[in-house]
Amino acid sequence: MKWRIALVDDEAVQIELLKKLLKEYGQAHEVSFQFLCFESAEAFLFHFEEDKAIDLLVLDIEMDGMNGLELAHLLREKNQDIKLLFVTGYTDYMADGYEVSAMDYILKPVDRKKLHRVLNRFKKSTPKKEETLVIETAEEKVKIIQADIMYLEADGHRTIVKLMDKKYEALEGIGVFKKKCQQTCLFKVTDPT
């Protein structure tokens, strides 16, 4: 299982500590991670406009500029159903964290056992056997569930990915999908050439 986790904290030391603790969890629970690290809420938002394929957003609350709660409220106002975990040094905002449906609120310094309990809950809430693919379109990166793919169609150097209710034009060619799917896909990709 692989999780894409965005870490938002204006202290680089905290980001490195979280990565270390998350990797420890991953080794014990057969989870690998792709980390996306941001030093501000604004930097995360800029990235998120084009890449919404994020499984978990771990963020600090007190940061220069937009704080973590403002970011969470903005995401919820835009109907973004992203899992949130606050990791902060302040207890003052705990009730606010639950207003934005955060999974949990962990105080710094981060307690390893508490973090692992939260990650266990997160793991249980994620689809078990639903393999996913991350596709890149001209507008954004999107994580899709493989079982939702009806078909793939080569279109020059791009690939049309047809789902039941929508269609994406992926920037990658059909050959890229063939490589991506050799071991992880639930379906076989054939190259028409």
pLDDT digits (tens, 9 = 90+) for 121-141: 998 887 655 677 888 899 888
Residues 6+ apart with CB under 8 A from 149: 133, 161, 162, 163, 187
pLDDT of residue 73: 92
- The answer as to CATH 3.40.630.30 being correct for domain 2-125 is no
pLDDT of residue 14: 94
pLDDT of residue 163: 87
Q: What is the pTM of this model?
A: 0.69
**Mean pLDDT across the chain, nearest whole number?**
86
Q: How far apart are CA 193 and CA 191, in angstroms?
A: 6
At 149-161, the pLDDT tens digits run: 888 888 889 999 8
**In terms of Cα–Cα distance, which of 153, 190, 149, 146 is closest to 166?**
149
Read off the amino acid at residue 55.
Answer: D
Q: Is the dihedral of CA 140, 40, 96, 20 positive or negative?
A: positive
* Averaged pLDDT, 105-120: 93
At 25-36, the pLDDT tens digits run: 999 998 889 999
Is the pLDDT at 179 greater than 60? The verdict is yes
Domain boundaries, the chain: 2-125, 132-184
Is the pLDDT at 76 greater than 70? The verdict is yes
pLDDT of residue 21: 96
- What string of DSSP letters covers 12-56? HHHHHHHHHHHHHHHHHHT-EEEEEEESSHHHHHHHHTTB---SE
Query: Is 78:59 a contact under the CB 8 Å cutoff?
Result: no
pLDDT of residue 134: 84
